[in-house]
Structure 1
Amino acid sequence: MMKFNYNILTVALVVTATACATASSETTAKAEPVADTGPSAIEKAELSKRDYLTPPVNFEIKPRPKDKNEFPKFVDYLLEVMHPRSEAEMVGDAEMMAKYKGVHNIDSIVIAAPGFPADITMKQYEEYMEHFRENQFTSMSVTVSNGSDKSVEEVFDRIETFNKYISDNSDRYHQIKSVADFDIALKAGKLAQFYNFQSMNAFGGEISNIEKYYNLGLRTANFTYNQDNIWGGGTVSNEDGSNDGVTDLGKQAINEMNRVGMVVDCSHSSDQTCFDAASITSRPMIMSHSNNATLQPIGRNNSDKAMKAVAATGGAICINFIGGFLNPQGMARPMDIAKHIEYVGNISGREHVCAGSDFVYNYAGTLMWILNNPDAFPESMGYASPSHMGMPGEIWGVVRALEEIYGWNENEIKGLLGGNLIRVYKANWQ
């Protein structure tokens, strides 16, 4: 019934707008054309009734505690405020899912690899994969390291274990190693996966490891997880003004990644690292999960100029679904996410925008990890702050908002869902 009522509202708005336009054209046939100024006040009032525009009750903003004894209670509070929408509000998403059934739908950053982070279990992994199936995803880039590992060997073992699991469950999963695998998995109805690093620390300072990881399925890697390292400047450089960029070793890594076919990623990196990488790379690069600093000015986000530099390589900028990175209120409703997508589409071109939810399924365990490691996860960058945490399925509410409010057409939506990323992958992968 709720879906029916939503459809009635949609049809009513369209019919009303069409009728008004027809009546106007009949009575003012000789009038000069009037420029389109967007929705009228009445139309805006009707649009404001849509569930993705109606703001939730603001949640109380509690400060991040420093006393470890207070961590468990604070985590419980963060879990209470994390969900952007209720199930009832998401009913209308089914219409968008039906419209784009059979289209590549890729999440460019998924925190799900068993054993990482905060010891994600295989059971949690399978539960998370069910969410992707229910929300019509076709493939995803799974993070297997953010540079906090005990050793390089640990990461190699994690990937090899994960590869075996996918192989043992080939009736449901498909490992992507080439662009052709996207279509193969889609036609077979299997959920496809490939791997990413959120820090080059797992290369262990050895350029030769890049090809070894590539052969195991690693397809994208960014320089650093916030902190400056031997590869490049992290977002800490955006915050303290140190402005560190790509190092000499980082340049070697870019050249080797270009050679073997691995995508260069500058999320979690400083603006200067993004500028440098864009000037060095011979292939399109990405920001796999970065939001815009003009809309939410925190160190973790990147500037217009950095995003334009990435787009100029032929690359793509993927917006994440974390409220603290979207706005000061910590909201990650569909319109909050759509606002960043539309903004980046305006400054770089809609063909250079994508989505990377960055949702961590083991959120409670991860929050404890974050709270216990404040240097790696600074509060000033939004970590463990009261915030919505949009799950990947929020993409369908975002698609509705982009179509109905910002006028995105079907081809632009297909690009956002997966086409823009596949273009980048095709230009990189061997």
Structure 2
Amino acid sequence: MLTKVIWGSCLALWIGSCSVTLAQDYMTKALQLMSEVPLIDGHNDLPWQLRKQFNNELNKVDLNTLTTTHTNIQKIKEGRLGAQFWSAYVPCETQYKDAVRQTLEQIDVIHRMCQKYPTTFRFSTSSQDIIDAFRSKRTASLIGVEGGHSIDSSLGTLRTMYHLGVRYLTLTHSCNTPWADNWLVDTGSEPSQHHGLSSFGKQLIVEMNRLGMLIDLAHVTVEVMNQVLNMSKAPVIFSHSSAYSICPHKRNVPDDVLLKVNETGGIVMVNFYNDYVTCSKTAKLSDVADHFDHIKKVAGARIVGFGGDYDGVTRLPEGLEDVSKVPSLVAELLRRGWTDEEVKGALGNNLLRVMREVEKIRDHMANEKPDDVPIPYDDVKNQCRTSFGYSNTGAVHSLSIAALLLTLALQHLITFTLY
């Protein structure tokens, strides 16, 4: 009996030792792959935390020692973060008010963050910039504007933000815009205003293709997802959404849409928020890996990426509590049998492929003129908005009609006099 107990104990110790060794091997492999391909994360809300906690007074903040966020420089280094789309987010409450100003201030704080910490961050706007930053051992820092309300229904504002370095626009946040429906419509808690996109919303998609700006479908209705996937010349992204079949939350992506994302060459960057991972307040790292597995199974590993949503959420899975923990998720994918090439794709190659295609479409459309037809004034008319431009256009139009009528009358008079 004693011999059996001893052998049982030895066996348990041996199995435990093997498990530890295997875990170490997977982590070693994960870190190796992360040294070869940049980990590109689709969405981080640190800039909003700088607004909330410090009113963007960056001179009063040290990102090396900041402890009240999921993200700081030490955590970035431990997490091997190769590139980050920093979110220039402002709440829906700013819509029809000061959304553009507030968004510009968020764009500004991202620029200043890169300027203050030049050995950590490199401001980036292209796929090649990401590669260059990675080679220089800095985190490529890109800007994504989260919510179409930030452009105040203006193609000119969209273009201006692009010139300031913005490389994706999330079409809606959690409110409808005058040209697109948001995800809450699918929950039944808000009415549809546009049955997806309005005609101006479709103009916007074309203009984003022309500019070379990534179209982000996180936060939109399924109808908007399908409309954009059907009409966009360039592949799209979901910067921070997970798989609906694993967690049926309306912020997640249904299987039929995953298939369309694959057909059109896009990417779904998996969100870590517990509520989108397990549809509950608790989750584990393995639950997030389940979303990666499901997307891979349904539509292929080529459409998967990382979109942690750090500093934008209040609950994160056990094992993914902050930016430093992401290598553990990479090791878990390896443990589940993902090949090196599949992992490299999820880390960054998939997103780089999407960006390069978006840039290629931009170059093909280089000779097309910017769209300068504004949204109909009745679609945006409110007490906080003036009608400058619209009234002038109307006056010119009325004058043209008057001139035409006068010309016809004169022609009639001349004809009558001659005969």
TM above 0.5: yes
Check 1:92–1:118 CA distance in 2 against 1; reply closer, same or farther (3 A cut).
farther
Give the secondary structure class of the aligned counterpart of 1:107.
Answer: strand
Question: Gaps spanning 5+ residues in structure 1: where?
Answer: 14-49, 51-89, 368-383
User: How far 1:191 sits from its partner (Å)?
Assistant: 1.6
Q: 1:107 aligns with which of 41, 54, 58?
A: 41
Take 2:259 and 2:50, find their aligned partners in 1: how far apart are those partners?
32
- Counterpart AA for 1:104: P
Q: 1:266 aligns with which of 210, 213, 217?
A: 217
Q: Which has the higher helix share?
A: 2
Take 1:315 and 1:253, find their aligned partners in 2: how far apart are those partners?
18
1:74 — aligned with what?
none
Check 1:359–1:168 CA distance in 2 against 1; reply closer, same or farther (3 A cut).
closer
Contact preservation (8 Å) 1:224, 1:231: no
Structure 1 stretches of at least 4 aligned residues deviating more than 6 Å after TM superposition: none
Check 1:207–1:301 CA distance in 2 against 1; reply closer, same or farther (3 A cut).
same
Take 1:132 and 1:12, find their aligned partners in 2: how far apart are those partners?
26
1:372 — aligned with what?
none
Q: 1:163 aligns with which of 101, 111, 115?
A: 111
1:345 — aligned with what?
296
Check 1:97–1:151 CA distance in 2 against 1; reply closer, same or farther (3 A cut).
same
Contact preservation (8 Å) 1:224, 1:233: yes
User: How far 1:91 sits from its partner (Å)?
Assistant: 11
Aligned 1:63-78 pairs, distance under 5 A: none
Check 1:231–1:310 CA distance in 2 against 1; reply closer, same or farther (3 A cut).
farther
CA deviation string 1:363-399 (max 9, x = no partner): 6xxx6xxxxxxxxxxxxxxxx7x97674333332222
Take 1:278 and 1:419, find their aligned partners in 2: how far apart are those partners?
21
2:345 — aligned with what?
415
User: Is it true that 1:140 corresponds to 2:70 in the alignment?
Assistant: no
- Counterpart AA for 1:109: H
Take 2:277 and 2:326, find their aligned partners in 1: how far apart are those partners?
15
Check 1:349–1:323 CA distance in 2 against 1; reply closer, same or farther (3 A cut).
same
Question: Gaps spanning 5+ residues in structure 2: where?
Answer: 1-13, 363-419
User: How far 1:288 sits from its partner (Å)?
Assistant: 0.7
2:416 — aligned with what?
none
1:392 — aligned with what?
323
Check 1:198–1:273 CA distance in 2 against 1; reply closer, same or farther (3 A cut).
same
User: How far 1:210 sits from its partner (Å)?
Assistant: 1.3
Give the secondary structure class of the aligned counterpart of 2:47.
Answer: coil
Take 1:115 and 1:403, find their aligned partners in 2: how far apart are those partners?
33
Contact preservation (8 Å) 1:6, 1:92: no
Take 1:304 and 1:334, find their aligned partners in 2: how far apart are those partners?
22
Q: What's the TM-score once normalised by structure 1's chain length?
A: 0.70
User: Is it true that 1:287 corresponds to 2:231 in the alignment?
Assistant: no
Identical aligned residues as a percent = 20
Give the secondary structure class of the aligned counterpart of 2:261.
Answer: helix
CA deviation string 1:69-101 (max 9, x = no partner): xxxxxxxxxxxxxxxxxxxxx997455224532
CA deviation string 1:111-153 (max 9, x = no partner): 1116655345643755423211111111100001245343312
The structure that has the greater radius of gyration is 2
User: Is it true that 1:334 corresponds to 2:264 in the alignment?
Assistant: no
Give the secondary structure class of the aligned counterpart of 1:106.
Answer: strand
1:239 — aligned with what?
187
Give the secondary structure class of the aligned counterpart of 1:100.
Answer: helix
1:129 — aligned with what?
72
Take 1:11 and 1:292, find their aligned partners in 2: how far apart are those partners?
31
CA deviation string 1:290-309 (max 9, x = no partner): 11221111222231122222
Take 1:95 and 1:240, find their aligned partners in 2: how far apart are those partners?
45
CA deviation string 1:163-199 (max 9, x = no partner): 2442353233211112211121111111220111121
User: How far 1:11 sits from its partner (Å)?
Assistant: 8.5
Give the secondary structure class of the aligned counterpart of 2:309.
Answer: coil
1:402 — aligned with what?
333
User: Is it true that 1:227 corresponds to 2:175 in the alignment?
Assistant: yes
Take 2:157 and 2:247, find their aligned partners in 1: how far apart are those partners?
36
Contact preservation (8 Å) 2:41, 2:307: yes
Take 1:271 and 1:124, find their aligned partners in 2: how far apart are those partners?
41
User: How far 1:6 sits from its partner (Å)?
Assistant: 10
Q: 2:31 aligns with which of 89, 97, 105?
A: 97
Check 1:209–1:7 CA distance in 2 against 1; reply closer, same or farther (3 A cut).
farther
Take 1:6 and 1:410, find their aligned partners in 2: how far apart are those partners?
26
Take 2:126 and 2:63, find their aligned partners in 1: how far apart are those partners?
24
- Counterpart AA for 2:146: Q
Take 1:124 and 1:301, find their aligned partners in 2: how far apart are those partners?
35
1:44 — aligned with what?
none
Give the secondary structure class of the aligned counterpart of 2:281.
Answer: coil
Contact preservation (8 Å) 2:143, 2:167: yes
Give the secondary structure class of the aligned counterpart of 1:294.
Answer: coil
Take 1:332 and 1:160, find their aligned partners in 2: how far apart are those partners?
35
Take 1:419 and 1:8, find their aligned partners in 2: how far apart are those partners?
34
- Counterpart AA for 2:334: E
Q: 1:357 aligns with which of 297, 308, 311?
A: 308
User: Is it true that 1:195 corresponds to 2:143 in the alignment?
Assistant: yes
1:47 — aligned with what?
none
What RMSD over aligned residues (CA atoms) do the two structures have, in Å? 2.8
Q: What's the TM-score once normalised by structure 2's chain length?
A: 0.71
Bigger mean CA offset, 274-283 vs 223-232: 223-232
Q: 2:252 aligns with which of 291, 296, 301?
A: 301
- Counterpart AA for 2:246: L
User: How far 1:272 sits from its partner (Å)?
Assistant: 0.9
User: Is it true that 1:317 corresponds to 2:268 in the alignment?
Assistant: yes
